[in-house]
């Protein structure tokens, strides 16, 4: 009986350590995220499962071109996936289906050709403010609608698409565009 009890306690200890470890990783390091909606098509589609890195932005700010998960500024309980376009203290303008940062057009090689988007007035970003847009510009509800996004609203950066298996991909930090 004593041997059984020792074995049981050892198994219980392993299970508790595993559960606590999974909880800590899920809460503070990375978590899965399921894409729902068309705002990032064709690069991300409904049903894609992603791993979101929640630690990186404690050490550095987002970089232009990175794909991030964020709290919906109009409903904090919802999450969106968008691409970082504008960085703190930059001026963003959408004109003639092109995006301009501080008066210079940015290259968005990740977008399909023929993107159509409405012109916007210039957005002047403050400290720790970012401008995010969906890749499917015609249907995306993004900073063009709600304005700049605070750093505190960004949950993390997308690191891995792990489902569907045929589209599995890792994402490295973007180069400044």
Predicted confidence (pLDDT) at residue 21 exceeds the cutoff of 60: no
**Cα 99 to chain center, whole Å?**
20
Q: In what helix (H) or strand (E) does residue 131 lie, and over which residues does it extend?
A: strand 129-133
Architecture of the CATH domain 32-170: Ribbon (2.10)
The catalytic site residues sit at 39, 82
Mean pLDDT across 128-134: 92
Least confident of 9-18, 41-50, 98-107, 119-128: 9-18
The percentage of residues in the chain with a pLDDT greater than 90, rounded to a whole number, is 19
Predicted confidence (pLDDT) at residue 14 exceeds the cutoff of 80: no
d(CA 65, CA 50): 17
- Mean of the per-residue pLDDT values of the chain: 80
Looking at residue 88, what is its pLDDT?
95
Joined together, the tokens standing for residue 90 give 């930059």
Pick from 173, 174, 169: nearest CA to 45:
169
Choose between 130 and 55: higher pLDDT.
Answer: 130
d(CA 147, CA 5): 60
Predicted confidence (pLDDT) at residue 177 exceeds the cutoff of 50: no
Q: What digits encode the pLDDT tens for the residues 85-109?
A: 999 999 999 888 888 999 898 888 7
What three-state secondary structure class fits 2?
helix
Instruction: For 59, list phi and psi in degrees, rounded to 5.
Output: -110, -25
Pick from 33, 64, 56: nearest CA to 130:
64
CB contact burial 69-106 (16+ within 10 A = b; e otherwise):
bbbebeeeeebbbbbbbbbeebebbbeeeebbbeeeee
How sure is the predictor about 175, in pLDDT bands with cuts at 50, 70 and 90?
low
Q: What digits encode the pLDDT tens for the residues 55-68?
A: 888 888 899 999 99
Choose between 75 and 114: higher pLDDT.
Answer: 75
Give the gyration radius of the chain's Cα atoms: 20
Peptide bond into 164 cis (omega under 30): yes
Give the predicted TM-score (pTM) of the model: 0.76
Looking at residue 174, what is its pLDDT?
56
């Amino acid at each position: 009986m004593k041997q059984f009890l020792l074995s049981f306690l050892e198994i219980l200890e392993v299970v508790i350590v595993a559960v606590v470890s999974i909880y800590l990783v899920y809460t503070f390091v990375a978590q899965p995220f399921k894409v729902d909606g068309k705002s990032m098509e064709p690069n991300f589609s409904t049903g894609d499962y992603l791993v979101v890195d929640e630690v990186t932005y404690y050490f550095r700010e987002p970089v232009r071109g990175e794909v991030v998960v964020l709290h919906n500024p109009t409903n904090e309980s919802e999450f969106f996936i968008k691409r970082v376009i504008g960085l703190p203290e930059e001026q963003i303008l959408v004109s003639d289906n092109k995006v301009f940062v501080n008066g210079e057009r940015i290259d968005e090689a990740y977008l399909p050709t023929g993107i159509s988007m409405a012109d916007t007035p210039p957005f002047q970003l403050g400290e720790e403010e970012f401008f995010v847009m969906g890749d499917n510009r015609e249907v995306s509800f993004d900073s063009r609608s709600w304005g700049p996004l605070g750093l505190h609203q960004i949950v993390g950066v997308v690191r891995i698409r792990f489902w569907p298996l045929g589209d599995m991909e890792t994402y490295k930090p973007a180069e400044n565009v």
